[in-house]
Amino acid sequence: MKYMLLMQFSAATVDFPTIDTWTPEEIQAHIAFMRDTNTKLAAAGELVDAQGLAMPETAKIVRSHSGGTPVVTEGPFPETKEWVAGWWIVDCEPSERAVEIAAAVSAAPGPGGAPLNMPIEVRQVMSAPTEEL
């Protein structure tokens, strides 16, 4: 089964300071942890994809209805309550394993090396119908 692990931040769910206010050593430890996590997932044959997104400041919102010129709104959006920072797609069995991976990611080191306890949303990627149908 494939699962998407969404790293979604919001003012309400995150109680740590933004990464650009940490010490250089704390940032380096965080980078090394993430890299190591991806290396391990790839070595285990579970990693499908891992991507980080550019900050919401650089986002655009596009709306269009047929026949009209698309309306493009440039970020940052003050009303943004939450934003997706990135995702992993893992292919693993059983579903508990996806939770285990999400838990490992959630505990990435932050200020003082303490686990960040980030909320990671685990969503199954929809697939072809199962044979029983």
Residues at the site binding other proteins, with contacts judged by CB under 8 A: 19-24, 26-29, 31-32, 35, 42, 52, 54-55, 57-58
Least separation in angstroms between residue 99's CB and other proteins is 25
Q: How far apart are CA 102 and CA 116, in angstroms?
A: 13
> Which of 57, 121 has the CB closer to other proteins?
57
Q: How far apart are CA 96 and CA 102, in angstroms?
A: 10
Least separation in angstroms between residue 87's CB and other proteins is 13
Distance of CA 5 to the CA centre of its chain: 6
Least separation in angstroms between residue 4's CB and other proteins is 16
23: left (phi over 0), alpha (psi -120 to 50) or beta: beta
Whole-angstrom distance between the N-terminal and C-terminal Cα of the chain?
Answer: 17
Least separation in angstroms between residue 57's CB and other proteins is 5
> Which of 19, 104 has the CB closer to other proteins?
19
Backbone angles phi and psi of 13, in degrees to 5: -100, -10
> Which of 50, 99 has the CB closer to other proteins?
50
